[in-house]
Amino acid sequence: MKTKLSNGLADPVKINRGGVRLNHQKTTNFSEKLAALSPKKVYIPLNMHIGAECKPTVKVSDQVKVGQLIADSEAFVSSPIHASISGIIKSIQIADINHSGSTTQIIEIESDGKMTPYENLTVPQINSREDFLLEVRKSGLVGLGGAGFPTSVKLTLEDNEVDILIANGAECEPYITVDDYKMRFCNEDILDAMRAIMKWLGIPNGIIAIEDNKMEAANILLKKLNQEPQKYADIKIVIMNSVYPKGMEKLVIYNTTGRIVPGGKLPKDVGCVVMNTTSLAELGKYLRTGMPLVNKSITVAGSAVSNPQNVDVPIGSLISDLLAFAGLKDKPDLVMMGGPMMGIALSSLENPVLKQNNAILAMLRNEFQLANESNCIRCAKCIDVCPMQLQPTSLVRAIKKNQIEQAKNDGLLTCMECGSCDYICPAKIPLVQYLRFGKKQK
Ligand code: SF4
Ligand code: SF4
């Protein structure tokens, strides 16, 4: 499958598949600089990715420096983990960080206050596709938009399997502006990473997908493409209207190429690979410097936060330290990890920041509603907004009756848990909670 696309700007697919228009509350979208958090301690879990948990390659009392390998796995689907601060390994414990019933090893590092980079890091030398994939693995990159899927696994493709690389800069969740920041200030790293992926994996076309509420980022990137038209001849930008959840992988593919990923299939099955722009920026930085993923850019916002901002956070920093750094006006009534549509409410602020986290939202009571569920009024609004063309009301009815097989036959497993149905429901039925519960049933 090899298609040639034209350069510059291209039209999006005009037909929306469901979705809702949201008040975006992107109060940090004009930040010019990332503030840097310098924690005294970090707690780095060894399961920050989909796939096999890593095993420690260090022991208690070892001295470590920034970027030094501290845990790895021999499994293909996994991703190495590196020290995010310099200092001493204080402990290696087993804990249940999310209180979810599943435990992981956690490496505690106490800072020496110096943030000394590991001296054995070198700029990657790449001469083949195999070298490239090895370096992607060594970078410790996982899907930074929230998925946590190891990037080296995502980019292990058959020859000619994919003809379009899509840089996903949609960032459709309210509040979060990290991708926007990276597109405005780290665009060379994004473009370099795109060109490296396209070169070494033989992908002829690149698309950067951006929602129309990030036109400054779009214009900066377009200017870059136009300044060096030969260098970027195979990359174009698609501006999409900002209808949530346009940033979800299957919808970005549809809205930029018109290709539909069938239920149970992957983007590569329709010739596409999608990476979010922050992941690309980190890959570009790694290819330029050899420093693996040790920091995460996080949007800290919400009505309880004194100084909403984007912060560069050593992975494993405590959320309590991050909130203290940004300042709190008052004790928050709700703290969320991720955006308001797909994020999760935190039961403890002593959880660490993970590779795949992109926002911490601290809200006061007047900023969110507690659902007071009433009976379904059969208005079908949830059906209208579902981007996967499901019937959430029928799925939930089946789940409530424990007819899980029926719900699965009706497409339960293709639900992306985007929350659009939940958001629009006038009866305040927590549809996504029911859908998640149904998915977990055998
Ligand atoms: S949460 Fe699932 S069912 Fe609801 S709108 Fe999103 S994809 Fe459709
Ligand atoms: S939006 Fe809510 S009330 Fe309307 S049909 Fe769907 S579940 Fe029922």
DSSP letter for each residue of 20-68: B------TTTT--S-EE---SEEEEES--SSSSPPEESS-TT-EE-BT-
| Residue-range definition of the domain harbouring residue 317 | 294-367
Predicted confidence band of residue 331 (pLDDT cuts 50, 70, 90) = very high
**What per-residue confidence (pLDDT) applies to 231?**
94
Over residues 265-289, mean pLDDT:
96
Q: Are 277 and 182 contacting, i.e. CB atoms less than 8 angstroms apart? A: yes
pTM of the predicted model, to two decimals? 0.91
**What per-residue confidence (pLDDT) applies to 372?**
84
- Which CATH number goes with the domain that contains 102? 2.40.50.100
Q: Whose atoms come closest to the Cα of 342: which ligand?
A: 1
pLDDT in tens, 136-169: 999 999 988 777 899 999 999 998 899 999 999 9
Domain end call among 227, 255, 289:
289
**What per-residue confidence (pLDDT) applies to 14?**
60
Share of residues in the chain with pLDDT > 70 (%): 95
Q: Whose atoms come closest to the Cα of 432: which ligand?
A: 1
**What per-residue confidence (pLDDT) applies to 302?**
95
Best substitution site from 172, 397, 429, 435 to test ligand 1's pocket, by max atoms within 8 Å of Cβ? 435
Clarify whether residues 229 and 181 are in a common domain.
Answer: yes
CA-to-CA distance for 163 and 201, rounded, in angstroms?
Answer: 10
**What per-residue confidence (pLDDT) applies to 5?**
41
Centre of ligand 1 from the C-alpha of residue 234, in Å: 34
Query: Which residues, judged by CB distance below 6 Å to any ligand atom, belong to the binding site of ligand 2?
Result: 376-382, 393, 424-427, 429
- The CA-atom distances, in angstroms, between 340 and each of 249, 252, 292, 343 are 18, 20, 29, 6
Best substitution site from 372, 381, 420 to test ligand 2's pocket, by max atoms within 8 Å of Cβ? 381
Question: Which residue, judged by its Cα, is nearest atom 4 of ligand 1?
Answer: 421
The answer on pLDDT for 325 being more than 90 is yes
Clarify whether residues 319 and 354 are in a common domain.
Answer: yes
Nearest ligand 2 atom to alpha carbon 393? 7
Centre of ligand 2 from the C-alpha of residue 334, in Å: 26
- Which CATH number goes with the domain that contains 279? 3.40.50.11540
Nearest ligand 1 atom to alpha carbon 382? 5
Q: Are 76 and 133 contacting, i.e. CB atoms less than 8 angstroms apart? A: no
How many independent structural domains does the chain possess? 4
CA-to-CA distance for 146 and 379, rounded, in angstroms?
Answer: 32
**What per-residue confidence (pLDDT) applies to 99?**
63
Centre of ligand 1 from the C-alpha of residue 274, in Å: 21
Predicted confidence band of residue 32 (pLDDT cuts 50, 70, 90) = confident
The answer on pLDDT for 45 being more than 50 is yes
The token pair at 8 is 């510059």
Question: Which residue, judged by its Cα, is nearest atom 3 of ligand 2?
Answer: 376
Best substitution site from 375, 383, 425, 431 to test ligand 2's pocket, by max atoms within 8 Å of Cβ? 425
pLDDT in tens, 60-87: 999 999 999 999 999 999 999 999 999 9
Clarify whether residues 139 and 263 are in a common domain.
Answer: yes
Question: Which residue, judged by its Cα, is nearest atom 3 of ligand 1?
Answer: 392
Report which DSSP code applies to 262.
-
Domain end call among 237, 268, 289:
289
**Of the given ranges (104-108, 176-180, 340-344), which has the lowest mean pLDDT?**
340-344
Which residues contact residue 265 at a Cβ distance below 8 angstroms, ignoring those fewer than 6 apart? none
Over residues 48-61, mean pLDDT:
94
φ/ψ region of 159 (left if φ > 0, alpha if ψ in -120 to 50, else beta) reads beta
CA-to-CA distance for 411 and 422, rounded, in angstroms?
Answer: 17
